[in-house]
Structure 1
Amino acid sequence: MGEAAGKARVTDGPAVAAGAAGGEVCDAERAAHARGEDRRPADGGARMIVGGPRGVRMVAVRDEWPDDPGAHPKVLVEQACRVYGEARVAAWCADLLVRAVAYDDPDEPPLVWVGGSPAAHGLGEGWKDHWPRVWGARGLLYAWDPAAAAAVVRGLEDPSWRVREMCAKVARARELGEAADVLAGLVGDEVPRVRAAALRALGVTGEGEHAPVVRGALDDQESAVRQAADKALEQLRGRLDRDV
């Protein structure tokens, strides 16, 4: 674990200290646990107390592992939330999305929590480097904190179309009104799947000023995009309670 003297699995007890600087803190944790006090972080996440050059701090416990790495992403992320806490998982997913942390950062949860079996041993051979960003964005469909919204909006302009598409899905699921202007720009994206995802998101995030862009997509050469535009206009009319 880098600064840690080893690894420790923590699921339902006091935090475990690693390194010489952690001993005193660990003693306090054990004493509190003996008194029946819960000294874990407010989000309930598993942590390790690490002493090192940067002082005593709390980091994620790397030994935590999904019950079934091949499970559906929703199952994996929900289990991760039980282990680390939803706010912690959402923050990590947002950081992965905007490359604020490396996917193999030893102070973060293992990538398998959002990538599933393909990420069981890191980013496997043949998987391009945009996949951790896709998985981070996808994780925000199942773990959320409002602070992650800015990362989603930023991800809508990612160089990878897969990241843009997934961020549009998250913007729709989380009804991010602040994403509407960027989504309107994606209606002209070169990838049909991105255009369709952006239109679906505009149906729940857009305002009247976005209607002309949506109407313009009714003539798109791809049927899936035309259908998404038609549905988005219907949703805008219903939400805004007027014709658009």
Structure 2
Amino acid sequence: MADRFWEVNLPGPAEGEEAAMVTAAVEQVGGHQLADWAVRLLRGRARPGDVGDPDIALIRGEADTLDPELALDPHLPRMLGARVLVHHWHPRAADAVLAGLTDESTAVRRMCCRVVAAHAAEGLASAARTVEALLSDPDPRVRSAAAQALGEVGGESTASALQGLLMDPDSVLASAAEDALDRLAERFARPDLRAEPEY
């Protein structure tokens, strides 16, 4: 799926650089090992510098590209684990991603929504209810990411929740809801689910 996210204030590299970084990490570490490490990071079962694990710089990027506040955030390794899974999926990661949707960190929740959007058909369809609940998340970036993910995992009944966001004062969220409705209309062959032209 083409990434249609607005990474407003998202720390770290741009989308294309993220994918290239993960691809390079796969080549260096191996696909299975990288996925295993990403899942352990996301679950909080691995920390940067653990013996036997790769250097976190492989997936973190240059330190000066990170938001300084997030760079000090103890949740950063979990967010980085989820970010790897956006670009390098393994079916065994599904449970960790589903748990990450309710993580205490907004960055982790947001990134797990991105994973759901990218890999909805690969064991994450059951995330729909949890993702829909994130439409009322306190963080606007999580709400936008949740709306995007619902385009991929939501059912036809999800359309009403998304319709209610079309006039949201947060233009990023309103646009994400519109994109999600377009995707639902495409998935279910229901043109009537699309946002009305006046929006």
TM-score range, shorter chain: 0.7 to 0.9
Q: Number of paired residues?
A: 169
Could you tell me how far apart the structure 2 residues matched to 1:219 and 1:76 are? Answer: 37
Structure 1 residue aligned with 2:118: 173
Equivalent residue for 1:78, pick from 7, 20, 23: 23
- Separation (CA, whole Å) in 2 of partners of 1:112 and 1:93: 13
Partners of 1:93 and 1:139 within 8 A in 2: yes
1:39-76 CA distance string (max 9 Å, x none): xxxxxxxxxxxxxxxxxxxxxxxxxxxxxxxx933233
Residue aligning to 2:99: 154
Query: How far apart are the structure 1 equivalents of 2:61 and 2:75?
Result: 15
Structure 1 equivalent of residue 86 of structure 2: 141
Find the counterpart in structure 2 of residue 208 from structure 1. Answer: 156
Match of 1:103 in 2: 48
Q: Distance in 2 between matches of 1:100 and 1:215?
A: 39
CA distance in 2 between counterparts of 1:104 and 1:216 reads: 45
Residue identity in the other structure for 2:132: A
TM-score, reference length from structure 2: 0.78
The SS at the match of 2:32 is helix
Structure 1 position 239 matched with structure 2 position 187: yes
Identity of aligned residues (%): 36
Question: For the residues of structure 2 that align with 1:132 and 1:221, how far apart are their CA atoms?
Answer: 32
Structure 1: gaps spanning 5 or more residues: 1-70, 120-124
Where in structure 2 are there 5+ consecutive unaligned residues? 1-15, 65-69, 194-199
Q: Secondary structure at the match of 2:138?
A: coil
- Distance verdict in 2 for CA 1:94–1:212, change over 3 Å: same
User: RMSD in angstroms over aligned alpha carbons?
Assistant: 2.0
* Structure 2 residue aligned with 1:185: 133
Deviations 1:145-181 (A, max 9, x none): 1111211111111111111111111111112312211
Give 2:51's aligned amino acid.
Answer: P
* Aligned match of 1:131: 76
In the alignment, the residues of structure 2 paired with residue 126 and residue 102 of structure 1 have an alpha-carbon distance, to the nearest angstrom, of 14
Larger radius of gyration: 1
Distance 1:89 1:126 in 2: 21
Q: Distance in 1 between matches of 2:31 and 2:25?
A: 8
Task: Kindly indicate whether structure 1 or structure 2 has the higher relative contact order, using CA contacts under 8 Å at least 6 residues apart.
Answer: 2
Superposed CA deviations along residues 66-93 of structure 1, whole A, max 9, x for unmatched, are xxxxx93323321221222212101211
Structure with the largest fraction of strand: 1
Query: How far apart are residue 229 of structure 1 and its match?
Result: 1.1
Distance 1:73 1:239 in 2: 27
Contact 1:87 1:144 in 2 (8 A): no
Report 1:39-118 matches (<5 A): 72-118=17-63
Displaced runs of 4 or more, over 6 A: none
